[in-house]
Amino acid sequence: ETGVTQTPRHLVMGMTNKKSLKCEQHLGHNAMYWYKQSAKKPLELMFVYNFKEQTENNSVPSRFSPECPNSSHLFLHLHTLQPEDSALYLCASSQDLRRYSGNTIYFGEGSWLTVV
Amino acid sequence: EDKVVQSPLSLVVHEGDTVTLNCSYEVTNFRSLLWYKQEKKAPTFLFMLTSSGIEKKSGRLSSILDKKELFSILNITATQTGDSAVYLCAVEAGSGGSNYKLTFGKGTLLTVNP
């Protein structure tokens, strides 16, 4: 139990579906992240939110739409995905983005997404 | 572009062996290097290293950073089957504020056979 909870753990969706991934952290952190983990590739940062404001969009296609209503919750809305989007999507949080914080990121267990 | 390279990509050993995992990096404005263990679920934090030459130790695991040669190693002694996992190296870099960035390597898949 890392203090970061993701739901659903597994999701299978068609290319025309709309679904959402949810992340909740109970650590009192202010920064939250979405990462994509594909087979045999490094973890890829998708989005960063700090105090509910998006600070980074790592050239992610618009079919992925993040939402951060407060510092404890982060969503990833999915629409018209492609089979190559199938991957493990990891949510993470950290105290904040301050340069001297020696940030340590805590990960959720991930949502396994399969696009058919 | 920041780069983190781990080697080997995979490793198979027998219980009781000692292993050394490598992580080299090229980043701008290095802040820290982190090691994670991932066993088919959330990566779990192992170590954070910020200073050269100071070994961090936790049980049978230890790690050290060389900021001059830009690498870190993770040692596991007397390996057990429960050590089987992907070990991820990540480097935190940036000039602060929204420029903070964490770059991951591809990971090393360690398999420990009984």
Asked if B3 and B101 touch (Cβ cutoff 8 Å), the reply is no
Question: pLDDT per residue over A2-61, tens digit each?
Answer: 799 999 999 999 998 999 999 999 999 999 999 999 887 888 989 999 889 998 888 899
SS3 A83: helix
Which positions in chain B touch A96 (Cβ < 8 Å)? none
Which among A40, A43, A98 is the nearest to B104, CB-wise?
A43
Structure confidence at residue A103 (pLDDT): 64
SS3 A37: strand
AA identity, residue A105: I
Q: Does A32 touch chain B (CB under 8 A)?
A: no
Given a cut of 70, whether residue B97 has pLDDT beyond it is: no
SS3 B46: strand
Question: pLDDT per residue over A50-102, tens digit each?
Answer: 889 998 888 899 999 999 999 999 999 999 999 999 999 999 998 877 654 55
- Indicate yes or no: CB of A103 within 8 angstroms of CB of B44: no
